[in-house]
Amino acid sequence: MSEANPFGPAQRAAMRAEVLRDGLLADKFVATDPEVPTFGLNLACVWPFPEAWRVGYELMAQRLGALGDWLYVYPFAHTHVTLVTLVSFARHIRPTPETVHSLEARMPEIIAALSPLLAEGSRDGLKSFQLRPDAPVLARGAGILPLVNPDGEVRELRTRVRDLLQRNAPLHRELGERGLNVPGIIHSTILRFRQPPPELEQFVATFDEIAAEIEFPPMDVGEILLTTETKPYMRGGEIRRRFAVP
């Protein structure tokens, strides 16, 4: 069944009305200390975007970044698509070595729990899928690039991850306390605000002009990544496991 786009005209109009009515919000990390040590753990599918997107993305980033130093635009190297947050970096600021060791020690258990979905050769494993970018849109706290998954594989992945983790009650309980989050939309954040723009309506109009000129091709996703997040918004971290999806 074809997956509906959650960022249709009505939703975009509602988001725009909220931005113009209530303003944009400074992000506490990029405004104060984007290099603060953290520890997060995610399932992702691209980090960074495909190389074929680099020229177009960096041109867009340059134009947006030129609007003012109150705007933080994700460098290409830090672009990513989070499918499931297993451990929220925002709950683990300046973690102790003991905390990091404890969370890293959970990785084999997480991988084992998700093996029916991600293990190579699994009869019930996830298949490769496509993501189609839509025009960027402003939320109050960020600019995001919506992604549409036409055949619903991401929705299935998220549902099955939730179900598989629930089978291991102690692990599921701990991850819940650590910030486990299964999003309802597919997107990539492309900008945040060090402070609200000085001229809101002017910024919104310019953002719309730039967004209207952006066009990225669909991306084919052939692997799922288990990543750590050791600085906010994937400014630091590493890929701990790659799971091929045929």
Query: Which CATH number fits the domain that encloses residue 183?
Result: 3.90.1140.10
> Residue 45 is inside which H or E element, if any?
strand 40-46
Secondary structure percentages of the chain, helix, strand, coil, to 5 = 40, 25, 35
Q: How many domains are contained in the chain? A: 1
Q: Where are the alpha helices (DSSP H) in the chain?
A: 9-22, 28-32, 54-65, 97-104, 107-113, 115-118, 153-166, 169-178, 200-212
| 194 domain residue, yes or no | yes
Residue 2, domain member (yes or no): no
pLDDT at 3: 65
Task: Sort strands 81-87 and 71-73 into parallel, antiparallel or unpaired.
Answer: unpaired
Please give the C-alpha separations between residue 1 and each of 6, 42, 149, 216, in angstroms, as whole numbers: 15, 27, 11, 24
> Is 233 a member of any domain?
yes
Is the CB of residue 201 less than 8 Å from the CB of residue 105? Answer: no
Return the pLDDT at 126.
87
3 domain residue, yes or no: no
In a domain, 169, yes or no: yes
pLDDT of residue 2: 53
Q: Which residues does 225 contact at the CB level (< 8 Å), separation at least 6?
A: 42, 43, 44, 45, 47, 239, 241, 242, 243
Q: What is the pLDDT along the chain (246 residues), one digit of tens a residue?
A: 456 678 899 999 999 999 999 999 999 999 999 999 999 999 999 999 999 999 999 999 999 999 999 999 999 999 999 999 999 999 999 999 999 999 999 999 999 999 999 988 877 788 999 999 999 999 999 999 999 999 999 999 999 999 999 999 999 999 999 999 999 999 999 999 999 999 999 999 999 999 999 899 999 999 999 999 999 999 999 999 999 998
Within-domain flag for 34: yes
Report yes or no on 1 lying in a domain: no
4 within domain boundaries? no
Q: Is 186 helix (H, G, I), strand (E, B) or coil?
A: coil
pLDDT of residue 1: 45
pLDDT of res. 4? 67
Structural domain of 78: 9-244
